[in-house]
Amino acid sequence: MPIAFIPSALRRLTGGASRVEVAGHTVREVVAALEARFPGVQQRLCENDRLKPGMSVVVGTSIAGAGLMAHVPKDAEVHFVQAVGGG
């Protein structure tokens, strides 16, 4: 089963858990599984059926260019990454 790594800004919704084993064959299904267990996660990650602007997802070792439609292998790590700004 995939393991979703939870960004520190969302850990208050997961009771402090930094990673969670969830079912899903796509990033969309992983987000839905997270939402079922931790209400509010989807709203923080998604907007209008897409990842929020400035949010990326890494499946395994690659940035998932397909966003929510990206395939998630059964033993993959899924990382939600917020863009870091500055100058």
Task: Residues 3-82: name the CATH superfamily.
Answer: Beta-grasp domain (3.10.20.30)
In the chain the beta strands, taken as DSSP E runs, fall at 3-5, 19-21, 46-47, 50-51, 55-59, 62-63, 77-82
Any idea where the domains of the chain sit in the sequence?
3-82
Provide the pLDDT confidence category of residue 23 given band limits of 50, 70 and 90: very high
Q: Is the pLDDT of residue 72 over 90?
A: yes
DSSP 28-49: HHHHHHHHHHSTTHHHHHEETT
Adjacent-strand bridge partners of 56: 81
* CA of residue 57 relative to chain centroid, distance: 6
Q: Are strands 3-5 and 77-82 parallel, antiparallel or unpaired?
A: parallel
Q: What is the model's pTM?
A: 0.91
**pLDDT value for 87:** 58
Provide the pLDDT confidence category of residue 65 given band limits of 50, 70 and 90: confident
